[in-house]
Amino acid sequence: MGTLGRAIYTAGKWIRGTGQAMDRLGSTIQGGLRVDEQLPRHRTIMNIFEKEPRIHKDVFVAPSAAVIGDIEIGHGSSIWYGSILRGDVNSIHIGVGTNIQDNSLVHVSKANISGKVLPTIIGNSVTIGHSAVLHACIVEDEAFVGMGATLLDGVVVEKHSMVGAGSLVKQNTRIPSGEVWVGNPAKFLRKLTEEEMAFIAQSATNYINLAQVHAAENAKTFDEIELEKMLRKKFAHKDEEYDSMLGVVREIPPELILPDSILPNKAQKAVAH
């Protein structure tokens, strides 16, 4: 490093040190109200070489998730906290209204032992439970993969089928439509009931609604969060029945009103009326 290079490096170091000192001073002045923010190296959405994720604008990707490389995600889908989607040596396609729940892993295979090129394809309105592992497989529309299940290379989970929680589905296994498979290795258990098929569809809808709420919460500023905390504390001990006896009507601030879609009891009452 020449003289000019050393001078530039020293100046940069001094500027960075000054910025850190000013941040510490500001935090000290704020006292107990301060929020210490650390800048993480984590990148939620990341290219890998020329491969770039293609994500619909209304997809919810949680801040702690990682979407990397050649990945396409359709509208209304959601990638939850701690999940990793890595499309480096092949591609990942996720359809419309699908949810990849917390701590799940989705990866691909450049080629397996037989030489097949194996991307991962996940259809529409699919539910992938917490901590599931999907590797170079296909999950068709409105299928359900339970929590902690593992799908290995070449697996095909057909439409309206279910993989039980904790199951291991061996390579190149095909799970026919309308069936429940469980175990290690996973085997046929029984046929899905109509109620279970309806549950799978409803699960996808519930996660579409819930993702909108989480997206809104993640977008709030510090001031908005502090305002809501104050309002919740202020209205926490108000009893509607007691107020009605006194003839008192208290208006709930709009910031505290949650969408009907995440309040099952409220939604049921509305249907009953």
| Domain boundaries of the chain, sorted by first residue | 43-192, 194-269
pLDDT confidence band for 272 (50 / 70 / 90): very low
CB burial of residue 210 (10 Å; 0-12, 13-18, 19+): middle
Per-residue model confidence (pLDDT) at position 113: 66
* Predicted pLDDT of residue 254: 64
Contacts of 100 (CB under 8 A, 6+ apart): 77, 78, 79, 80, 83, 85, 94, 106, 122, 128
pTM > 0.75: yes or no: no
- DSSP reduced 3-state for 244: helix
Q: Quick one: CATH architecture of 43-192?
A: 3 Solenoid (2.160)
Name the residue with higher pLDDT: 112 or 48: 48
User: Quick one: tokens of 18?
Assistant: 């000054």
pLDDT band at residue 270 using 50, 70 and 90 as cut-offs: very low
Distance CA 254, CA 258 (A): 9
Return the structure tokens found at 42. Answer: 């984590």
Specify the pLDDT at position 273.
Answer: 43
**Using one digit for the tens of pLDDT, what is the confidence trace for 242-261?**
566 556 555 666 655 656 55
Q: What is the pLDDT of residues 18-47, one digit of tens each?
A: 877 888 888 888 877 776 666 667 889 999
Average pLDDT over the chain, rounded to an integer: 86
Summarize pLDDT for 72-83 with one digit per residue, the tens: 999 999 999 999
For the cut 80, the answer to whether the pLDDT of residue 61 exceeds it is yes
Whether 146 has a pLDDT exceeding 70, the answer reads: yes
Those residues with Cβ within 8 angstroms of residue 58's Cβ, 6 or more apart along the chain or in another chain? 75, 76
Q: What is the DSSP string of 149-166?
A: -EE-TT-EE-TT-EE-TT
- pLDDT attached to residue 257: 60
265 pLDDT higher than 70: no
